[in-house]
Amino acid sequence: MARKVPSVLLANGFRTTVLISFLLPGLAAALIAKEKTPAVDPNDPTLRLFHLIDNSYGGKLAEFYILADIYKDQKNPNEELQRVLRVEYDKSRAFGKLSLYVRTVGKMQPEQAKAYTPKMVYEFGVADAEKFVKTEPGPFGKTGDLYLRSVDDRPLASSPVTESARQTYERLLNDHILPALQKKQ
């Protein structure tokens, strides 16, 4: 047999329901407001790269290779080395939208640079020296960013994001990747 609920309890339950329905939207809005991330600088190189690839390359860039900067070898100052980059980007990935692989080879002579594609030069390199993984725009080193580095010819391993790593990341984007992709359009 069904029991009858006293009308006083129904009235209190109704008041509680009405009170909760008024408080929840305000509480939810307050929680959302706290989770908002600060706006990203429009000159941020990652933001500019993401926009460029999203707008000009359909949100995907697979195996884009480029010859980058030349620098002195720390172990042998008389020898010059050159970075070769491989860039992959997929807007639909939740984690690691951008992967930037860095390999090092001996400095390319002008005739070699003409004879070999950047992909071929990248493949001449034995292993990656560094890898930068970025999910969201903003300075490198935010939560979710990943920096891998090879030390003493060992495989890539997770490394702390130092100021030097940040500067290298930004320089590679600003000086090499963004100009090359803008030129390719």
Question: Quick one: pLDDT band at residue 147, thresholds 50, 70, 90?
Answer: very high
Residues 6+ apart with CB under 8 A from 182: 52
Cβ neighbours, 10 Å, residue 63: 10
The one-letter amino acid at 1:
M
Question: Quick one: pLDDT band at residue 154, thresholds 50, 70, 90?
Answer: confident
What is the structure's pLDDT at 91?
95
Residues 6+ apart with CB under 8 A from 49: 89, 98, 173, 177, 178, 181
| Separation in Å, CA 62 to CA 58, 67, 85, 141 | 11, 16, 12, 23
Compute the distance between CA of residue 90 and CA of residue 104 in angstroms, rounded to an integer: 25
More confident residue, 97 or 8: 97
Name 152's bridge partners: none
What is the structure's pLDDT at 139?
93
What is the structure's pLDDT at 62?
93
pTM, 2 dp:
0.77
The one-letter amino acid at 12:
N
More confident residue, 155 or 2: 155
| Separation in Å, CA 152 to CA 79, 109, 127, 129 | 17, 26, 12, 10
Angle subtended at Cα 34 by Cα 31 and Cα 36, rounded to the nearest 5 degrees = 115
More confident residue, 34 or 123: 123
Compute the distance between CA of residue 11 and CA of residue 5 in angstroms, rounded to an integer: 11
Cα 59 from chain centre? 14
Nearest Cα neighbor of 98 from 172, 184, 182 is: 172
Residue-wise pLDDT for 91-119, tens only, equals: 999 888 999 999 999 998 989 989 999 99
Where is 101: in which H helix or E strand?
strand 98-106
Residue-wise pLDDT for 9-39, tens only, equals: 555 555 555 444 544 555 555 555 555 556 8
Residue-wise pLDDT for 47-91, tens only, equals: 999 999 999 999 999 989 999 999 998 888 899 999 999 999 999
What is the structure's pLDDT at 6?
60
